[in-house]
Every structure is written in C-alpha cells, then in structure tokens.
Chains A and B, each alone.
Chain A
Amino acid sequence: MSSYNNSARFNEARKVAIFGGTHGNEMSGVTLVNLWVKNSAEIQRKRVETKPFITNPRAVEKCSRYVDTDLNRAFSPENLSAPEGDNLPYEVQRAQEINRMFGPKGSPEAYDVIFDLHNTTSNMGCTLILESSKDHFNLQMMNYIKKAIAPASCLVLLNEHPLLKYSTSRSVAKHPVGLEVGPQPQGVLRSNIFEAMRIILKHALDFIELFNEGMEFPPCTVEVFRVSERVDYPRDANGNIIAMVHPNLQDCDWEPLNPGDPMFQTFDGKTIHYQGPGTVYPTFINEAAYYEKQQAFVTTRRETLLASAIRKHEN
C-alpha cells in the first residue's frame, strides 16, 4: 500500500559491506574497518548484516596505495574473468577473491550495498561518490545523509563519464557507494577526518535500517557534481611536471573556476590560466595519488537529479 503511485521497489538491503584499505595508505578507512572487525556493535542494525572488510591487506601492511596495481581500477570484466594464477598481479588476484566473496558483480547474489572508504589529500570535505544517476536507492540515501548531517555538509560526486569512469572495488555491489574524506595526507590519521567518516557511515546504515523496516521515502531532488574532464599538470618532453596547482586554486575544491582564472604556477613563477569555455567546479585538486595518473584535478558540472519515491518489495 503505497502513497506514491510510481514508487520504485527494491529488495531489502540485507547484505552490506564496508571496505577499508582499498588504498593501503588511506588511514581513516583502514583504522575504522580494523576497529569494527574487532567489535562490530557500532555498525550493527536490525535486519542488516554488515561486514567490515580490509580489501588490500598487503598494501595496508606496507602503508602504500597498492602493491602491484591500483585495486580500485582492477574490477574490469577482463580482470575478473582472467584465468586464475600466481602470475596475475596481486591486486587482480585480490579483485577475483573479492568478487567471489561479495559478488559476482552484476549477479543477483551480489551484496546489496558496499561502502568503500577513502581519503584524499584534496580539500574535498565529505564526499559521497556515485556511479549511476539512475540508482534511486542510492540517490535517496544521499538525500537522507545530507539532511541528517546538516548543518555540516557533504557533497555528491557522480562519475558516469564513459572514459573517466573506472572499475572500482565497490562496483561488485548492487548499490556501490564511495566515501572520500579529506584533506588528509596519505599515511596519516587525523581525528577530525576520522570522526567525519564515522558519522557519515552511521547515517548511511541508519538509512538502510529504516528502508528495510519498510519506511517509504518520498520523491526528492539531489544536487550532484558530475565528472566532466580530467586536467593534467603541464609537463615537459620527459613527462616531468613543470608547474604546480596555483595558490588561488589550491584547496578550492567545489568552488567555481571561470575562464581566465589562475590554474597553475610554474616552478619559475609564471601563472597559467584556465582556458575552458565556461565555469566548472574542480575537485580532487592536488590529490597525491593522481600525479601518476596524469591528473591535477577533475572538472565537474552541477546538476540536480530527481529521485523517485522508494520502498521495499513486499514479500
């Protein structure tokens, strides 16, 4: 019995996982998940089974992002279907194991929700990352979290870009949610960032509990920042960077960048300006891990998405 005619119906989200250590040097997630593995009282909810899980234990031990290759890019169909063997890179083997445990990706047996916990050196605050604008369950969750943490804020980054989207660890689940909190240097644990991440997770799990109990969530709108373009550092012929993020842009994630605004400063002090056609919203500005990925920041565009009402299937 629904009060909204076109309520989207979803199964109860009974199987939920929280991933930490997908990048071994992002300490908030590593620490939280290790804590919850020891004592999971904080993440237990009625009608939900929540599994905290360290996805890349060898990278965690080394306190490095990865061992052989970036685990958070390793969940491609090719990797997941590659013949098993010891000659596969460690993270590809690991991706296959994770896919067996929490997937298979795209199958009805897959976990319902996976939260993947990350930190960034960028001044992004609390950012939730979605991979689809059509996942109304996730959009409703974003709306719930935003309301619950107000007046603190958290933003939603939507990566649906055909070329810039990558195959994440969380993509194994039916409803993948990335959580990116910064600024925090790699290999460092800051208590403010740690607490911020903990609070977001609390509200996210509360949402799932309410949903499973049968609460209906009315239609709503969600403001998202849609990934648009990757911008690399200026480089010389050998591929070495020759400029840094300009002081006017550094730490200004999510603030408008207009044509003509300073963007980079070369090592000998010259300013390079943004030449794009219109205003964009940059984020992931000066993220440590993206120097090797040829990315100084990504530009995004603001959009408002409509989330339909949702409730669980009656069965």
Chain B
Amino acid sequence: MELVCLPRLPRVAVCGGTHGNELSGVYLVRELLRVQRETSEKEKEEEDKKSMSVLTVLANPKAMQRCSRYIDTDLNRCFTHAILNSPLSDKPPYEMVRSRDLNALLGPKGSCEAVDLVCDLHNTTANMGLCFISYSDCDWICLHIFRHLQRQMPEISMRYIHFDVSNRESYSLDSIGKHGFAIEIGPQPHGVVRSNIYTTMKSGVQHMLDWVHFFNSGTTFEGGLVEVFTMVKNIDYPRDCVTCSITAAIHPKLQDRDFCLLHPGDPMFQTFSGETLRYKGKEALYPFFINECAYYEKGIALSLARKKHVMIPTVRVQTEQEEQANKLGFASEEEE
C-alpha cells in the first residue's frame, strides 16, 4: 500500500461553545480548562515533553452565557474567506467580530501560521450518534483520526460526513486550521447535557489527542477503506405559502432513523391533518440531521447523503529532513 508522509501536527485546538446551547462541548472544554489550571508545574513540564500543545477554546462565550445558539448571527457560518476579509460595518454583529478574533488566534485561515488541527465540538437534536463533519474526503489526517476513533470506540455508531465545499467557501470554525473537522454528537436537546453524550464526546476527544501524539511520535498508521457520506441536498418542511409556518412534522417512521437508507416513496412527513407525504427523489439516499432544532430557521428538515468508500493510504509523520526538503520545495515553487 502507498505510504504518505505528512508534516507533524504540533498545535491542536479543541473548541466548544461555538453554538452556546450545545452543552456537551461547553462543559467538556470547561473541564479540560479546569484540568489544565489544576495541573501542577511539574506535570506541566512532563506535558511539554509531549509532542504537541493543545489549545482549548470557548468560541462564543456570550452565547454560552445566554445559553442560546448565537447572539446576532450563527458564528459557525462566519469563517468564509469573504466574511473574514471584508471590511466591518459600524455596528458589526457580535459573531462577525468574534470570528475575526478566533481567526487571529487559530488562523489566519489558509496561512502557514494556522494551527495544525482544529476540532470543534457540537451537539444535535438528531439521532446521529457521533459524526465527523469535514470539507474534505481526502484529508488523510481527518480520515485516519476517524478510523482510530471507530476502532477505539466500537460500541458507538460513527460516521464521516463530507460537505463538498471549497476552502474559500467553507464557513465553519474548523475550516481555519490546516486540518479540521467538527465532532457532532446526538441526540441531545439544546440547553441540556446528557451524561452518555458527554462521556462519548470526552473519550472521542481523548482518542483524537492520543492519535495525534502517536502520529507525531512516528507511529505508522495502515491505510484501508473508510465509509464516507457525501452531502447531496437539504429538504425543507412543507410550509404554508402565505405564513411560511410549517404544515407537517417529520414522519414517525423517519424520525430518529438517521443514516437508514431512504427509498423513493418512503414516508417523509406527516401533515397536521394526518396525511403522509413521501420522498419523491429518484435515488435512495441516507438521511441525516433529521429534525435538528437549529435548522428550522434555516429551512432544513433533513439532509441527504450518498455513501461511498474512500481508500486512504498508510501515513506516518515526515522526518525532520523530509520536512526541511518539503519547505524548500514550497519556497522554490513560490519563486516560480
């Protein structure tokens, strides 16, 4: 199998509270911060011998304080190249200011100063289990970390979701790192922390950090096939054409059945007068984000994905010489 050597990952960021009412991430990052604070100086020296530094970030503290998703606008849509680089208005929305601060702290997006890996923690009201959400289906780092978690946590149902969006158009916090993904875990109501979801998230983050440490320390990770769900389209609720209010709920036969193949003709919605509306697409697809609370206002009742298998290569970290050579290579490329 092909071997790919990749640069070390010395700086990792773990973020929570990007949506202020998704409480597993909020409380997990707080817990990580508490442990950092209470770690003695001696232990810190030990930590320094580790192969990387971990930055823990509470991304939207004002929204957290209010326990709402956001204050003025959804922070996790504020990291496109355009938004980060356009001039700010006189009274900019809080999240627009915050996204720049975070870009300065963890980015700048697309630059070589950006942190190596951003992991952003989210919760959903949908029954999605643990999902990685990434903009790439060929970021071997993200895919290998995903496979590591799958192996370490076999009791947890886990999927890798791919949003096919270019780096300039990518809009979420995790897009400002050199590598990045969101961990989305559900079902958990917003404004609630459930111990099972929190515990799953905590071990997921621990295994992610372990993997980075092993990788940086020179471990070779065998390649193989990974199942990837590529987002195809969103479907909105049926709505009243005058008031725009919804006229149907997710059908009981679809509710909570995220990632169960939806065939043409399968029940999708149930109107308030009891009528069943069916999936009219031509292709069977995998539904996810079924009945996510925050997506009512975005006009999304569910998303649909196509499943494929991606062959990922064996990876290991570059040696110092390889890294040096790579940098020189970059430099000469830029001169051309």
Contact = CB atoms under 8 A, between A and B. Distances in A.
Contacts of A184: 189
Contacts of B148: none
A265 B246 CA distance: 39
Interface stretch (B12-20, B133-141, B190-198, B222-230): B190-198
A250 B194 contact: yes
B325 to A, nearest CB: 44
A216 to B, nearest CB: 35
A265 B255 CA distance: 29
Contact of B255 (A187, A191, A241, A289): A191
Contact of B192 (A34, A121, A240, A268): A121
A292 B68 CA distance: 13
Interface residues of A, number: 34
Nearest to A266: B31
A37 to B, nearest CB: 12
Which of B35, B190, B191, B246 has the most C-beta atoms of chain A within 10 angstroms of its own C-beta?
B191
Given A186-B190, A244-B195, A64 B68 contact: yes
A286 B31 contact: no
A246 B195 contact: yes
Interface in A19-37: 31, 34-35
Nearest to B252: A191
A99 to B, nearest CB: 28
A190 interface: yes
Interface string A253-269: 00000000000010111
Which of B28, B199, B251, B297 has the most C-beta atoms of chain A within 10 angstroms of its own C-beta?
B199
B249 interface: yes
B272 interface: yes
A183 B68 CA distance: 20
Interface residues of B, number: 34
A185 B190 contact: yes
Given A250-B194, A291-B67, A189 B246 contact: yes
Nearest to A35: B272
A267 B189 contact: no
B185 to A, nearest CB: 14
B163 to A, nearest CB: 23
Interface string B25-42: 001101100110000000
Majority secondary structure of chain A interface residues (helix, strand, loop or mixed): loop
A265 B196 CA distance: 10
B293 interface: yes
A246 B199 CA distance: 11
Nearest to A121: B189
Contacts of A188: 125, 189, 291, 293, 296
Contacts of B199: 247, 269
A245 interface: yes
A244 B193 CA distance: 7
Given A250-B195, A286-B194, A291-B67, A190 B291 contact: yes
Contact of B30 (A31, A35, A121, A240): A240
A7 B293 CA distance: 49
A288 interface: yes
Given A64-B68, A191-B250, A240-B30, A186 B195 contact: no
Interface in B174-218: 187, 189-196, 198-199
A23 to B, nearest CB: 12
A66 B34 CA distance: 32
Nearest to A243: B195
B272 to A, nearest CB: 5
A268 B202 CA distance: 10
A289 B187 CA distance: 17
B270 interface: yes
A284 B163 CA distance: 38
A192 interface: yes
A274 interface: no
B167 interface: no
Contacts of B189: 121, 183-186, 188, 288
Contacts of B246: 31, 189
Contact of A192 (B192, B195, B255, B293): B255
Contacts of A64: 68
Interface string B239-255: 00000011001111001
A187 B187 CA distance: 14
B195 A187 contact: no
A166 interface: no
Interface in B91-137: 125
Contacts of A240: 30
A196 B34 CA distance: 43
Interface in A94-149: 121
Given A186-B293, A247-B196, 9 more contacts: A31-B272, A63-B297, A183-B189, A185-B187, A187-B125, A240-B30, A245-B195, A250-B194, A267-B28
23 contacts: A64-B68, A183-B189, A185-B187, A185-B189, A186-B293, A187-B293, A187-B296, A188-B291, A189-B249, A189-B291, A190-B291, A191-B249, A191-B251, A191-B255, A192-B255, A246-B195, A247-B195, A247-B199, A267-B34, A269-B199, A286-B192, A288-B190, A291-B192
Interface of A: 31, 34-35, 63-64, 121, 183-192, 194, 240-241, 244-247, 250, 265, 267-269, 286-289, 291-292
The 8 residue pairs across chains A and B that have the minimum distance between CB atoms: A185-B189, A288-B191, A187-B293, A191-B249, A267-B31, A121-B189, A185-B125, A244-B195
